[in-house]
Amino acid sequence: MKLIRTNLKDCFIIENSVFEDERGYFFEGFNQEKLEDLSGISFEPKQLNQSKSGYGVLRGLHFQLPAKSQAKLISCIEGEVLDVAVDLRKESESYKQYEAVKLNEKNKKSLFVPKGMAHGFLSLSKTAKLMYLVDEFYSPRHDYGIIYNDADINVDWGIDSEKIILSKKDSQLPTLKDIKLDF
């Protein structure tokens, strides 16, 4: 396991050690002790989520409000996604900045997104399946998000906006300047 620091504090890419032979492959997708030793961050998952999306599906940018904020460890187990984290912590040096990384079944990388960040992803393949661990249970009351094309954040999703497929809920999310956050 190798940690790659990003421009966002406490957000990092994990390069997993993969062991392949004629039978297939094996890798350890999560090891709490190694993660803490390498990052200094304690991450204790409470829930495992999985999603399946077709090409152009964009999910996000989502987060849970404080009291139920979630840190996430995201992996793409089939296909490819552009995975994005946005720093919403006002006191952070990287406030309103984002990190984008391609996760796919070939590179077997993971992205760790700490509490206080929004998360979203865009499916770049015909089918993309994600699995992610979160350290807090889903809370509908604390579920929130910001619109994927917020001009103050200006995420480069890498495809034409006409090809992006959003849920009704995600298409109606507010901009960052239209909400009050306290991370």
* pLDDT for residue 180: 86
Chain centroid offset of residue 91 CA: 21
List Cβ neighbours of 175 (8 Å cut-off, separation of 6 or more): 146, 147, 150, 151, 152
Of the residues 98, 119, 132, 148, which is catalytic?
A: 132
- The confidence score (pLDDT) of residue 9 equals 94
* Active-site residue, from 62, 98, 119, 148: 62
Residue 119 annotated in active site: no
Which tens digits make up the pLDDT trace of 138-182?
Answer: 999 999 999 999 999 999 999 999 999 999 999 999 999 999 887
Name the CATH architecture for the domain at 2-178.
Sandwich (2.60)
Please tell me the predicted confidence (pLDDT) of residue 170: 97
* 183 pLDDT more than 80: no
Beta strands in 6-89 (DSSP E): 12-15, 18-21, 24-27, 47-54, 58-64, 72-78, 80-87
Annotated active-site residue 148? The verdict is no
Q: Please enumerate in sequence order all residues whose Cβ is within 8 A of that of 178, keeping only pairs 6 or more positions apart, or say none.
A: none
Is the predicted pLDDT of residue 52 greater than 90, yes or no?
yes
Per the CB < 8 A criterion, the answer to whether 63 and 86 are in contact is: no
3-class DSSP state of 62: strand
Helix-strand-coil split of the chain, %, nearest 5: 10, 45, 45
CA 155, 159, 165, 169: dihedral to nearest 10 degrees?
Answer: 10
pLDDT tens digit sequence for 7-41: 999 999 999 889 999 999 998 899 999 999 999 99
Give the H or E element holding residue 151: none
The whole-angstrom separation of Cα 164 and Cα 57 is 6
- What global pTM score does this model have? 0.94
